[in-house]
Amino acid sequence: MTTVPQQEEKKPLLDQFKETRQRSLELVKTLEKDDFVVQTAFYMSPPKWHLGHISWIYEAILSKIDKNYEFYSKEFSEYLNSYYQQFGVPHDKAKRGIFSRPTVDQIFEYFNTVNQRVTNFIQENIIDSETSRLITMGFHHECQHQELLVYDLQHLLADAYRPVQKNSPPTPTQVKNQPVKIEGGVYTMGYNGSAYCYDIELPEHKVYLNDYTIDSLPVTNGEYLKFIEDGGYEDFKYWLSDGWEKVKENKWTAPMYWEKVDGEWMTHDFIGKRKINPKGPVCHVSFYEAAAYCKWAGKRLPTEAEWEKAACWNNEKQTKTIFPWGNDSPTKERANLLESYIWNATEVGSYPQGASQYGCHQMIGDVWEWTSSEYVGYPGFQTGFDEYNDKWFTNQKVLRGGSFGTPSMSIRGSYRNFFRLDERWLFSGFRCAKDQ
Ligand SMILES: [Fe+2]
């Protein structure tokens, strides 16, 4: 295993905890009380539920560390347990919005009580490496829900949401999409740093790649529009059979949130209702749509190993880095992540400083990128927390790179996100690859 420097000096556990909790509160600070209770779709969750659930997971973690740990409330645990059978029978996800109790005030009280309990635990105990790993997992879990909360807020409020912080996007540089040639051979994929990563990023292992090309830019709205205008959604020949069924069943004619008004494609998101920006990366497409576009374009999706090598391999130095630009943490100059507070994907060419050694742009941030890889454990996988990641090893595809909703502390080149093939409420796009 190659060792690389840690991407940042590790902050004390308590500081990381406080920062993470603060970010959750900031996301909901401007909401009206009524906003906290509403669930707009079966795959969304009410903000109230997220706040409670991210607190509950610390209780679940503390109960693993201390066998005598007593949960705050049996009723809260039942409502806030997402899918962990080991902690009882969870409530139906699709019905999280039908509960008026616990109330919003009670959830905030619970949030603060858990803060106190975790703070006391960290201050009063000697934290060994396994305990530290479990508590840190709680931070990263909270980051995941912060991003899910952003998806939900867009669906619930769009431009009626008033973020505490909002910045303008950077001025993009002129870039041209080109296929980047990457040599095949044995590539060692997985996380090789010394900070936190999820169990599914380990162990590092060797894979064999053929020579391939991968596009320097993600597919843009303008490019995707050509697929639509060429009848892409009307011809079965571009689609996987299951995907074609979804097109017909859901009457898909464009990415989620797109709407044709007076012959013009519009979208409605945090920025407001407006014309599609042809230079922005296409967002809110399912795996099926990404795969269909690739077939139409005479290309294919990259595997996650191909994506990771294009993002993190430094061919000159023969080393792998944590991020496309090296091992230093993300900054506002390198990637559009949650703390950029732009609340949208930025135009291609907006982050030349974040390009990979191979010259691929915006691999971190802006939009998650679908890969063709099945979401399964790596060879030698060992669970880091039962039911967290491992029970989803079927019927999902891997996405890489993070989005404008991903907190920066939680992203890295080896990070594996996963969603079902027809899901498109996430900030999902893609880039194309091709055999050489
Ligand atoms: Fe969760």
Transcribe 213-243 into DSSP letters.
EEESSPPBHHHHHHHHHTTGGG-GGGS-HHH
Alpha carbon of 141 to ligand 1 centroid (Å): 6
Q: How far apart are the C-alpha atoms of 213 and 210, rounded to whole Å? A: 10
**In this predicted structure, what is the pLDDT of residue 10?**
67
Alpha carbon of 55 to ligand 1 centroid (Å): 10
Alpha carbon of 273 to ligand 1 centroid (Å): 31
Alpha carbon of 416 to ligand 1 centroid (Å): 16
Within 8 A by CB and 6+ apart from 416, the residues are: 198, 200, 201, 304, 375, 398, 399, 400
CB-neighbour burial class of residue 18 (10 A; exposed 0-12, middle 13-18, buried 19+): middle
Q: How far is CA 250 from the centre of its chain?
A: 24
Alpha carbon of 76 to ligand 1 centroid (Å): 15
Alpha carbon of 53 to ligand 1 centroid (Å): 7
C-alpha angle 293/279/287, rounded to 5°? 30
Phi, psi of 272 (to 5 degrees): 125, -175
Alpha carbon of 60 to ligand 1 centroid (Å): 11
Alpha carbon of 137 to ligand 1 centroid (Å): 11
Q: How far apart are the C-alpha atoms of 229 and 260, rounded to whole Å? A: 12
**In this predicted structure, what is the pLDDT of residue 85?**
87
Are 333 and 169 a contacting pair, CB within 8 Å?
A: no
Alpha carbon of 25 to ligand 1 centroid (Å): 17
Alpha carbon of 48 to ligand 1 centroid (Å): 13
Alpha carbon of 265 to ligand 1 centroid (Å): 35
Alpha carbon of 54 to ligand 1 centroid (Å): 7
Of 336, 253, 340, nearest in space to 289 by CA: 253
Are 408 and 330 a contacting pair, CB within 8 Å?
A: yes
**In this predicted structure, what is the pLDDT of residue 1?**
36
**In this predicted structure, what is the pLDDT of residue 350?**
98
Distances (CA, A) of 383 to 144, 188, 195, 248, 391: 18, 20, 17, 39, 10
Are 179 and 215 a contacting pair, CB within 8 Å?
A: yes
Q: How far apart are the C-alpha atoms of 390 and 405, rounded to whole Å? A: 24
Within 8 A by CB and 6+ apart from 79, the residues are: 49, 52, 91, 96, 99, 102
Side-chain half-sphere CA neighbours of 316 within 13 A = 5
pLDDT profile of the chain (436 residues), mean per 10: 43 96 98 97 95 98 96 94 86 88 97 98 95 97 98 98 98 97 98 96 98 98 98 98 98 98 97 97 98 98 98 97 98 98 98 98 98 98 94 97 98 98 98 97
**In this predicted structure, what is the pLDDT of residue 83?**
85
> 3-class SS at 189?
strand
Q: How far is CA 165 from the centre of its chain?
A: 20
Task: Report every protein residue that has its C-beta within 5 angstroms of ion ligand 1.
Answer: 82
Alpha carbon of 83 to ligand 1 centroid (Å): 8
Alpha carbon of 50 to ligand 1 centroid (Å): 8
**In this predicted structure, what is the pLDDT of residue 119?**
97
